[in-house]
Chains A and B, each alone.
Chain A
Amino acid sequence: MSFGETVKNLRIAQKVTLRQFCQANGYDPSNWSKIERGINPPPKDEATLTRWAKALGLKTKTEDWKNFMLEAEISRGNIPKEVMNDPALLEKLPAFFRTVRGSEVGERELDNLIEKIRKAHTPDED
């Protein structure tokens, strides 16, 4: 299991949505989503990681705590920093569009949508 999956599972085990979790702990939902999806790497500094572990309900010095820290360390080296390429992007483009009042989505708007989606699957710059 990846670090992001671990984070997501721990959050879901608390029965809270991503937005509730972020509101309660003062995190940005967009960034947190990228962490859970394994796009952004875990933080390097231990203090932040410790805060995350506590927010996710882990108790210090337990096996789960140690695994969490270990997965974070491994994950930092595994997450690519490249912009998402087209073949990968094609897997993420929606097939159905429910537009308000059935309005058309023109070519320029689609280009813009494609770039938004690419960005949503690309790591934030440090």
Chain B
Amino acid sequence: MKIKVPFLENAAIWKKADDFRKSLAPEGCDLPPINILYVADVILKLDIIELPDLFAEQHIDAALLPDLSGIYIDQEELRAWDREDHWVEKRLRFSVAHEIGHYLLHAKLLKNKFKSIEEFKAWAEDRENYSAAEYQADEFAGRLLVPPEILLREYDLYCCKAGEVDPEWRNIEGMREHVARKLAPRFGVNYQVLETRFDRENIWPAS
């Protein structure tokens, strides 16, 4: 099976994410940390289908059904979400946002159906087939969950406080990661997501 993933500028992906986030305002879901399971289940009406050991055996947190009817999610992670396990919650929030990215960016591509189980396996084993789509969905998820204006505001607040203690604070080794760790809980994501946003939004690019 051939699926040609069209090139998308980051700006186009961000616009899609920003527009989608704004559309969540009437439901009160546009502010971080975004209640992503509510968005997927109640707003988009996607079936949330739990699969046992999806992460343990396939190393996958979530995957979108090609008929766009739902998302497969690792059963253990959903149970951890129920228990308010924040570490899992942060990872799952990003994974579900990533699948919503596929839903909004790649719906047309998913119409190409597999003709046999063998074709599906050959496709799935060659990651090169869909790495561009994965990048785009990641970029969508990061932008959706971390609104740039709120990130900038939080970052500026931190800068003010840190600057009072040491004007050269930004040059301290490991400070970029430290700030990402400090701000990440506001958005309900892991600090690596914030480090990527520092880069992409040109707030604090990695040197």
The residue of chain A having its C-beta at the shortest distance from the C-beta of B48 within the complex is A18
B side interface size, CB within 8 A: 56
Contact of A109 among B42, B57, B63, B117 (CB under 8 A): B57
**Per-residue B-contact encoding for A80-104, CB less than 8 Å = 1, 0 else:** 0000001001111111111111111
A33 lies within 8 A of chain B by Cβ: yes
CA distance A93 to B67 in the complex (A): 9
Q: Does A51 contact B (CB under 8 A)?
A: no
Per-position binary interface string of chain B over residues 64-101, scored 1 when its CB falls under 8 Å from any chain A CB and 0 otherwise: 11110110100100100110000000000001001000
Interface bits A99-126 vs B (CB < 8 Å: 1, else 0)? 1111111110111111011001000000
Which chain B positions have C-beta within 8 A of A113?
51, 54, 57-58, 60
Do A90 and B117 have beta carbons less than 8 Å apart?
yes
Residues of A within 8 A of B137 (CB): 96, 98
Structural contact, B60 and A30, CB atoms closer than 8 A: no
Q: Which of B41, B106, B123 has the most CB of A within 10 A?
A: B41
Smallest distance from the beta carbon of B33 to chain A beta carbons, Å? 15
Which of the segments A8-16, A52-60, A61-69, A71-79 contacts the partner chain? A8-16
A92 CB to closest chain B CB, in angstroms? 6
Listed by A's residue number, 15 A-B pairs whose Cβ atoms lie within 8 Å are A15-B42, A17-B37, A19-B37, A23-B82, A29-B78, A33-B50, A90-B116, A95-B110, A95-B130, A98-B95, A100-B61, A107-B125, A110-B121, A112-B57, A117-B51
Which 5 pairs from chain A and chain B are nearest by CB?
A94-B63, A17-B41, A99-B59, A100-B59, A103-B59
- B residues near A (Cβ < 8 Å) are 3, 37-38, 41-42, 45, 47-55, 57-67, 69-70, 72, 75, 78, 81-82, 95, 98, 102, 106, 109-110, 112-117, 120-121, 123-125, 127, 130, 133-134, 137-138
